[in-house]
């Protein structure tokens, strides 16, 4: 797999009654970065790469789109629909020699989105997913639970 998605729930830090994330995406980045450090250690990134704070091109800092590269791996956190063209230009992974890991992607596409963007998002494999479910069930009763997947296992749903 050349492009994979990792969706990790973030523990709420500094939340208020009105907003779990009053600091927005930058607060989420600060919460996610220590978790990314552990992933990078597992993938044998050098400590210099682990400790640096890097963003995708010019607009990455505004949207907290982080990007780290080492050997056969590229890790990008919080990629947005606006970052898709840049991610597509990264030629290192186009030849299947590098894996691009998208952590907690923020792709909100709609019917008016570019066809290339939709194809890119469809090509992403869900490698790891842990998500809370809060939805309406039969008769409008609330359903709560977890959605989980660790590749290559199938998706699992645990309902409360």
3-state secondary structure 120-137: HHHCCEEEEEEEEEEEEC
**Position 149 in a domain:** no
Residue 86, in any domain of the structure: yes
* Residue 148: inside a domain: no
Is residue 144 in some structural domain?
no
Residue 80 lies in a domain: yes
The predicted pLDDT at position 160 comes to 65
pLDDT tens for 38-82 read 889 988 999 988 888 777 776 677 778 888 888 888 889 999 888
* Total domains present in the chain: 1
pLDDT over 70 (residue 92)? no
SS3 8: coil
Q: Is pLDDT above 80 for 147?
A: no
Q: Report how far apart, in Å, the C-alpha atoms of 71 and of each of 45, 46, 86, 93, 115 are.
A: 8, 10, 19, 11, 31
Q: Which residue has the tokens 């907290």?
A: 64
Structural domain includes residue 155: no
Global pTM?
Answer: 0.81
pLDDT score at 1: 63
Contacts of 62 (CB under 8 A, 6+ apart): none
Residue 56's domain comprises: 3-132
- Locate all alpha helices (DSSP H) within 12-111, ordered by sequence: 24-42, 47-51, 60-63, 84-89
């Amino acid at each position: 797999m050349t492009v994979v998605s990792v969706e990790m729930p973030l523990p709420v830090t500094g939340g208020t009654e009105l907003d779990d994330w009053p600091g927005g995406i930058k607060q989420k980045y600060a919460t996610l970065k220590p978790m990314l450090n552990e992933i990078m250690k597992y993938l044998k990134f050098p400590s210099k790469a682990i400790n640096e704070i890097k963003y995708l091109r010019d607009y990455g800092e505004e949207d907290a789109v982080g990007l780290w590269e080492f050997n056969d791996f590229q890790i990008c956190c919080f990629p947005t629909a606006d970052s898709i063209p840049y991610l597509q230009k990264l030629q290192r992974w186009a030849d299947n020699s590098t894996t691009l890991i998208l952590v907690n992607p923020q792709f909100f596409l709609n019917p008016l989105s570019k066809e290339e963007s939709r194809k890119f998002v469809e090509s992403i494999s869900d490698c790891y997913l842990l998500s809370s479910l809060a939805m309406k069930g039969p008769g409008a009763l609330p359903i709560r639970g977890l959605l989980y997947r660790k590749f290559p296992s199938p998706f699992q749903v645990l309902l409360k």
